[in-house]
Every structure is written in C-alpha cells, then in structure tokens.
Amino acid sequence: MKKKKLFHATVLCVLFCLTVLMTVASEASTRMPTFALESVRDGKIIKSDSFQGKVLLLTFFATWCPPCAEEVPVLRKLHNELEGAGFSVVGLSVDQQGAAVVAKFIEKQDITYPVLLAEAQTTIDFGGVYGIPVAFLVNKSGNVVKKYTGYIQHDILEKDIRGLLN
C-alpha cells in the first residue's frame, strides 16, 4: 500500500513539474503583438516589423507617472549603450492628451529612443496593461520573453538584455 501511495505521489509530482515547465515554455514563446503606431517625434507610422531581428524593451508609460519618469535615465542609458548591438527601447505612451504633451516630456527627459502613441487596442494586445510602467522584453525572433511591472533597476534590465544579445 505504501509503494502504491509513493508511486501516485511521484506521478503527481512529475505531472505538476511538466505542467509548470510547459507553462513557462509557452510564456517564453509568446509572439509580440503587431502594431502600427504614430511616432511622437515626426507623426510617421512605425510598424512593429521595422524592429525585426532586434532585441526590444517595449515600455508602456505616461508623462504624469513619477516612476515612469524615474526610469527614463536607465532606459536612455541602456538604449544608447546597446543600440549598436541590435537593441532598442521603444516607449509606448498611454497619455490621452496627444503627441504635443508627450513631445515636451521627450525633450525635457532627453529621450533618444523611439516613442510611439499607444492605442487602446495596443494595451489589449499586450495582455491588458493595467498599471504603468510596464515593459516587455522581446528577443530577436520577435517573442516576448519577460514582463516587468513597475520600476526595474538598471542592473536587472542590463543582465536580461545582454543575455538575449549574446
């Protein structure tokens, strides 16, 4: 009887572990949603496929959000340091006041990476953006491999990004 219970416990443990591994694997291979959004800088439409083959950090933010403003220097530094290696930060503004407000924020914060105006559908396509800042790390194959909620420290982001660039 004890052997039978041990066998059942082992089988349940193995099934649980397989379920967890399959869940992690499926999350790691989630395709980045496609988008075509207006650039704050020049009003041109930027399509997601224009970043093909790059590692991306897509960050949803708003100009009125203190943690969003706090992380800009970290994002700017990462973008500037790693742009030549095939990396880009892409800011996705959820501001409702329009491009002029976001453009002032870009200038004040000296943002060097692309900033686009996110649409309501964009937040839905990314699984629902319920708080900001929130960022998605995308590998060279166009798969979302990690989601960051809230302010993320430079060393954590850099480690994750460099891991995908190598």
Q: What is the 3-state secondary structure (H, E, C) of the chain?
A: CHHHHHHHHHHHHHHHHHHHHHHHHHHHCEECCCCEEEECCCCCEEEHHHHCCCEEEEEEECCCCHHHHHHHHHHHHHHHHHHHHCEEEEEEECCCCCHHHHHHHHHHHCCCCCEEECCHHHHHHCCCCCCCCEEEEECCCCEEEEEEECCCCHHHHHHHHHHHHC
Q: What is the pLDDT of residue 1?
A: 55
pTM metric for this prediction:
0.80
Question: How would you classify the pairing of strands 45-47 and 134-138?
Answer: unpaired
pLDDT at position 15 over 90: no
Using a pLDDT cut of 90, give the percent of the chain over it.
73
Q: Which residues contact 149 (CB under 8 A, 6 or more apart)?
A: 131, 134
Instruction: Please compute the mean of the pLDDT values over residues 87-91 and round it to a whole number.
Output: 97
- Better-scored residue on pLDDT, 72 or 4: 72
Angle between helices 66-82 and 99-109 (to 10 degrees): 60
Instruction: Express each pLDDT in 116-146 by its tens digit.
Output: 999 999 999 998 888 999 999 999 999 999 9
